[in-house]
Every structure is written in structure tokens, then in C-alpha cells.
Amino acid sequence: MKLRDLGRTGLKVSEIGLGCEGFLERDDAFTREMFSLALESGVNCMDLYSPDPDMHRRVGRALGAAHKDFLYQAHLCTVWQDGQYKATRKLKEIVPSFEGMLRNLGTDYVDVGMIHYVDSAATWKRVSEGGILEYALKLKQQGVIRAVGMSSHNPDVALQAVKSGAIEVLMFSVNPCYDLLPGDEDVNKLFEEESYKRPLFNLDPAREELYETCQRMGVGITVMKVYGGGDLLTENSPAGKAMTPVQCIHYALTRPAAASVMVGAHSRGELAAALAYEDATEAERDYAQVFASFPKMSWKGHCMYCGHCAPCPKHIDVATVIKFYNLARAQGAVPETVREHYAALSAKAGDCIACGACEARCPFGVKVIGNMRAAKEMFGS
């Protein structure tokens, strides 16, 4: 299992992590079976959005002493009332719920304290000015959480929070269908068939800016909804064509700042299908040809960092050069970290001989030669 840096937190997370929805209303035997497979495969992190105390206790028992090497991404602003989940913004509910979760997990700290479900500007204002963010920062100062995070489905709100500098980890819904839709405070629109009836072309600019800003500011992204609630894996996909779990995961992990995909597996088979990503061939991971054949959507002219442009006769990592160029262009200047990473490349944009081989192979019709010229001008080599 490959580990990735979780932004600037200093934490390293496995590319495949566990979502918790598949663990709800299950027993200890199921939980132990899933963790056995996960741990054997090198999974070292789990998202715990649900405040279900029984699930927390089962997870704590299944991990036992292994927790010292396992990362919890646990959520603030969720409570368990009358046997069901509820989101809350009341500190008098948040504090005892979080403390109870720690007891049920059998730990005195979690790695990421995730401020839960911030999908509107009004909610972010309440979180940032109403004591919730202050509480999260206090927990970090006390060592009860190691990094402050926030979950969101709305790129506009998420971008505002990331730019504040207070958020170190963003849990965000990343998949090729959601990425085409503009931000909205109604998360249900991501799931509605109506949202996909009009022609959809290229990545939504706000989502692109969000990913690139996270990369630039060192905010790690943990991915939710990688399969779009399962829709992307069937012919009923909004795209009009089914993808595989491996293709969906690879798409998410090739977005800037993406560190780990929290997979919502409901069975050992579903978890195994996600874990197969680590041993998948490049052909099995390839999402580009599928995207190019989607009958309802198009990414024409937009670099998807898929790598189909390789091999380059001058050994330029074309996709990486374009990614660095896009990061710098979004900033309006070249950040020091981007400049350093670009300088470390063995071949640079200036080595391009404009042979056009990459453009002939690109499924999306990207003007690679023009991008190389622009990157050379921006980076000076």
C-alpha cells in the first residue's frame, strides 16, 4: 500500500482508507473481518463521520493495540440522539459527543478533527465565528486532535474555508461527474438526474481552483463519494457509461492535493475491489479512454493528468509539467514549493521539440505544445 503525505500535517495516509458507512448496524465479527483485510493490505486510516456509539466501540475493539499505527479522521458536529445521527452546531452538544466518541473508541486523541458537513456560507460563518473552529483549534493545542479538518460538498464554501488558513485537511466529494457541476448549497443536486441532463463540458472552474489551492497551501484532501454513491459503477451512471472501482479511485488520486480515498465498503468483496487498486496495471487504472467515450459528457481540451501523452522522446513528464503550470497559473505567480518541484524534474518544458506525438495520443485534444511553451515562459526553462 502506498502512503501519501496528508498535506502539511506531517501525517502519512494510505491511498485507500476506510469509510464507516459499511460498518453501521453490523456486528463484531464483520468489523474484525473487514479490519483484518484492511490491515493486512496496509490500510492505515478511517473516516468516522457517524456518531454511532456502537460502531465506535466495535472499531475500537477490532483495532485494539493496532490503533497506535492507525489514523482516525473523526468528526465534530455530529451527535447520536434517539438512536440516530444528527448534525449540530451547538457546542453544548458537540463537546460531550466528541468526548464520548473518544471513550467509545478507547483513545485519548484522534488524528484529524473534522468539522462536519459545511456546505453553505452561512454554516461556515457560524463555524468560524461561533466557537466551533475555536474549539477545534483548542483541541489541537491540547493534543486531542493532530490536525483540523472540514468536510464539504460545495467547492465555493470549501475554497473559502481553505483560504482562511485554518483548515489543514479537507474531506471533499471527488468524482468525474460531480466535478462537472458548479457549487451549490443543496448537496442533493449532486445526486439528481436533472443536474446531468444538459450538456456538461470540462471541469467546473471552482472545483479546479479548490484542488489547486489545496495543493498550493498544503491542505490534504481525503476523498468521499468516489463512486458517486455507487452510480458511477453502473450503466445508469450520469455519464452514460459504467466505470470500475479502480478507475474511479485513480481519477480521484490524480487530482491535486488528493491523499486518500475513504471507501465506503459494505462487504469484504467491495473492500477487496478497492484494494485491488494497489496492484492494478496502468491499463486497468486508465480512466481516460472511458472518459473520452462518455456519451453525455466531455473533457475536450482539458488536461486530466492521465498520462496518455507518454512516452515523450525528450523524457518530459508532460502531465506533471502541465499540473505544475496550472498550479502556478491559478496563483498568478510561481509558489516556492511549485518552483522547487518543477526544478527537480529531469526534463522540463524547455526541452520540448514540438514533435506533436503527445497531442496525437491525448484522448482529450489538449494543446500540449502550447502548454509547454507557456510553462517554459513561466518557469524560465
Are residue 112 and residue 258 in the same domain, yes or no? yes
Percentage of the chain with pLDDT > 70?
Answer: 100
Residue 134 CA, chain-centre distance (Å), reads: 25
- What pLDDT is recorded for position 187? 84
**33 occurs within a structural domain:** yes
**169 occurs within a structural domain:** yes
Please state the pTM of the whole predicted model.
Answer: 0.87
Show the 3-state SS of 109-138.
CEEEEEECCCCCHHHHHHHHHCCHHHHHHH
Per the listing, cell 459499511 goes with: 22
Residue 304: is its pLDDT beyond 80?
Answer: no
- What pLDDT is recorded for position 364? 83
Are residue 31 and residue 93 in the same domain, yes or no? yes
Per the structure block, which three cell numbers stand in for 340? 522547487
Question: What does the alpha-carbon distance between residue 13 and residue 284 come to, in Å, rounded to a whole number?
Answer: 23
Are residue 100 and residue 38 in the same domain, yes or no? yes
- What pLDDT is recorded for position 354? 94
Closest-CA residue to 177 (of 162, 160, 192): 192
Mind listing the pLDDT tens digit for each residue in 109-129? 999 999 999 999 999 999 999
**310 occurs within a structural domain:** no
Are residue 272 and residue 357 in the same domain, yes or no? no
**375 occurs within a structural domain:** yes
DSSP state, residue 360: H
Are residue 322 and residue 283 in the same domain, yes or no? no
Are residue 164 and residue 242 in the same domain, yes or no? yes
Are residue 119 and residue 231 in the same domain, yes or no? yes
User: Mutual orientation of helices 318-331 and 368-379 as an angle, nearest 10°?
Assistant: 60
Question: What does the alpha-carbon distance between residue 247 and residue 245 come to, in Å, rounded to a whole number?
Answer: 6
- What pLDDT is recorded for position 283? 93
Give me the mean pLDDT over the 145-161 stretch: 96
CATH of the domain at 136: 3.20.20.100
**306 occurs within a structural domain:** no
Mean pLDDT check: name the lowest of 130-144, 152-166, 318-332: 318-332
Residue 371: is its pLDDT beyond 90?
Answer: yes
Average pLDDT, the chain: 92
Closest-CA residue to 17 (of 324, 381, 277): 277
**242 occurs within a structural domain:** yes
- What pLDDT is recorded for position 19? 95
- What pLDDT is recorded for position 335? 79
Provide φ and ψ at 285, rounded to 5°. Answer: -80, -20
Q: Number of structural domains, the chain?
A: 2
- What pLDDT is recorded for position 229? 80
Residue 199: is its pLDDT beyond 80?
Answer: no
Q: 159 versus 298: which is more confidently predicted?
A: 159
Q: Containing domain of residue 375, as a range?
A: 318-379
Name residue 9's amino acid: T
* Residue that finishes a domain, picked among 287, 303, 327: 287
DSSP state, residue 183: P
Are residue 166 and residue 253 in the same domain, yes or no? yes
Bridge-partner residues for 4, per DSSP? 13
Are residue 206 and residue 155 in the same domain, yes or no? yes
Bridge-partner residues for 172, per DSSP? 152, 223
25, 31 contact by CB (below 8 A): no
Q: What is the band of 26 on the pLDDT scale with cuts at 50, 70, 90? A: very high
Q: What is the band of 228 on the pLDDT scale with cuts at 50, 70, 90? A: confident
Mind listing the pLDDT tens digit for each residue in 307-347? 788 889 999 999 899 988 888 887 777 878 788 889 999 99
**72 occurs within a structural domain:** yes
Q: What is the band of 203 on the pLDDT scale with cuts at 50, 70, 90? A: confident
Give me the mean pLDDT over the 124-136 stretch: 96
Are residue 235 and residue 119 in the same domain, yes or no? yes
**313 occurs within a structural domain:** no
- What pLDDT is recorded for position 153? 93
Closest-CA residue to 93 (of 116, 60, 121): 116
Q: Where are the beta strands (DSSP E) in the chain?
A: 3-5, 12-14, 16-18, 45-48, 71-76, 78-81, 84-87, 110-115, 145-152, 169-173, 200-201, 220-224, 258-263, 297-298
Are residue 232 and residue 355 in the same domain, yes or no? no
Mean pLDDT check: name the lowest of 96-110, 115-129, 190-204, 347-361: 190-204
| Apex 50 CA angle, 48 and 56, nearest 5 | 65
Residue 24: is its pLDDT beyond 80?
Answer: yes
Are residue 95 and residue 142 in the same domain, yes or no? yes
Per the listing, cell 458537513 goes with: 117
Give me the mean pLDDT over the 137-159 stretch: 97
